[in-house]
């Protein structure tokens, strides 16, 4: 199978790369005894935890499901407030609302799109102590939030890292570089394995943590709140017969959901995980090529600034373009590039601008988020691309922008 993108093919902003090994892994499950959650999920979770250096990994049906599970696991409820950067996908904020907590939107750096301790401090200024319960920082496009500074500034707050874009990356945890997902400073990290992400399971997500308590809660939330371990049974009469655990018995200690991942998806994920280092290296090389070419286009076009203290595993290649200064609009540029066989996207519309949240919390002044959004454009980036594909994208972009 030739996965190399031809110069004449349409280049989407992102896509999965599937090979014969991946196909065989899925076929092996289809021909086996398990289709739903079974031994392939166990193997995938074990390999994932080992890869990122965490004690526990919990696979689930999507990144959104993972965020919801994390919100449940840390105990969010009515009256709680969670700080979420406005530049993210809807799911980061929506997961907070799923558990009836409230979102407090924070601004971001206009060049990196990342939230920092300064922006969070501004967001929570004036709130009474104890109102804010958690932070959901977002590792945007592949580079990472300064988690060490957040933990130092807000040691009392629970933390759920939205790392949908950051699998394979590293950040400085204060005592050297660590893999994203290793959770050296506590909390939970959530990854997405949607097809455009670094590895794909079709749909899917994975959460990592070093807390046995949080891992147990995540698994309960994933599977209807069911508990099957005899040592955790609360009804000892129903759970045991003559001192033996009843083999059919289970209990529900909290309401949960059907957020399980199937063995079919997990088999694909395990196969993809073996290629993670290769995928990340290719993404880094392509993104570097973009930086070399884009930054030479003039003062009104630049690649997204790389945050300090991290070694990104690039999910997206984002150019920041001053469309107004160039006498055009983003819509015109995207449409012109599409007509030339190049797909682009915008990541993301600031969530505080969405009608639901604007009505709920009123108008917010987040100039960093608005400035980043006004200029960002995600260009094609996926491992099957060649440097010539990057050159094609940049040449066409320059032509459309009349540079």
Which residues have a catalytic role annotated? 197
In the DSSP assignment, the letter for residue 230 is G
> What is the rounded distance in angstroms from the CA atom of residue 159 to the CA atom of residue 83?
10
Hey, CA dihedral for 108, 111, 113, 117, is it positive or negative?
negative
Query: Which residues in 378-394 are b (16+ Cβ under 10 Å) and which e?
Result: bbbbbbbbeeebbebbb
Q: Is residue 280 within 8 Å of 313, Cβ to Cβ?
A: yes
Q: Going along 226-273, which residue ranges are E strands? A: 226-227, 240-241, 244-245, 251-252
At a CB cut-off of 8 Å and minimum separation 6, what does 112 contact? 140, 143, 304, 305, 306, 307
> What is the rounded distance in angstroms from the CA atom of residue 269 to the CA atom of residue 282?
19
Q: Is residue 316 within 8 Å of 284, Cβ to Cβ?
A: no
Q: Is residue 107 within 8 Å of 53, Cβ to Cβ?
A: no
């Amino acid at each position: 199978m030739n996965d190399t993108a031809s110069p004449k093919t349409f280049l989407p902003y992102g896509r999965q790369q599937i090979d014969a090994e991946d196909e065989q892994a899925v076929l092996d499950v289809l021909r086996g005894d398990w289709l739903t959650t079974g031994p392939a999920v166990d193997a995938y979770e074990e390999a994932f935890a080992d890869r990122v250096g965490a004690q526990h990994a919990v696979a689930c049906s999507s990144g959104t499901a993972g965020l919801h599970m994390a919100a449940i696991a840390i105990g969010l409820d009515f009256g709680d407030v969670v700080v979420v950067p406005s530049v993210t996908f809807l799911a980061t904020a929506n997961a907070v609302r799923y558990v009836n907590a409230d979102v407090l939107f924070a601004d971001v750096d206009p060049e990196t799109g990342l939230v920092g301790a300064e922006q969070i401090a501004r967001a929570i200024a004036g709130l009474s102590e104890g109102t804010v319960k958690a932070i959901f920082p977002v590792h945007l496009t592949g580079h990472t939030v300064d988690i060490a500074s957040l933990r130092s500034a807000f040691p009392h707050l629970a933390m759920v890292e939205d790392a949908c874009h950051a699998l394979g990356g590293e950040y400085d945890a204060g005592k050297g570089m660590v893999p994203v997902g290793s959770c050296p400073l506590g909390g939970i990290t959530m990854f997405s394995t949607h097809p455009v992400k670094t590895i794909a399971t079709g749909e899917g997500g994975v959460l990592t943590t070093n807390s046995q308590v949080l891992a147990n809660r995540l698994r309960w939330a994933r599977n209807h709140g069911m508990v099957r371990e005899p040592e955790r049974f609360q009804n000892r009469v129903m759970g045991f017969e003559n001192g033996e655990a009843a083999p059919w018995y289970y209990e529900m200690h909290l309401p949960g959901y059907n957020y399980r991942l199937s063995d079919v998806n997990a088999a694909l994920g395990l196969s993809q995980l073996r290629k993670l280092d290769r995928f990340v290296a290719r993404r880094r090389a392509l993104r570097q090529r973009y930086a070399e070419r884009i930054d030479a286009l003039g003062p009104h076009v630049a690649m997204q600034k790389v945050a300090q203290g991290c070694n990104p595993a690039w999910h997206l290649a984002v150019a920041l373009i001053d469309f107004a200064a160039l006498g055009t609009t983003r819509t015109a540029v995207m449409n012109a590039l599409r007509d030339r066989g190049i797909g682009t996207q915008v990541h993301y519309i600031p969530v505080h601008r969405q009608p639901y949240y604007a009505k709920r919390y009123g108008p917010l002044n987040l100039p960093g988020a608005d400035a980043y959004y006004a200029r960002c454009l995600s260009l094609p980036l996926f491992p099957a691309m060649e440097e010539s594909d990057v050159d094609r994208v940049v040449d066409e972009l320059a032509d459309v922008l009349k540079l």
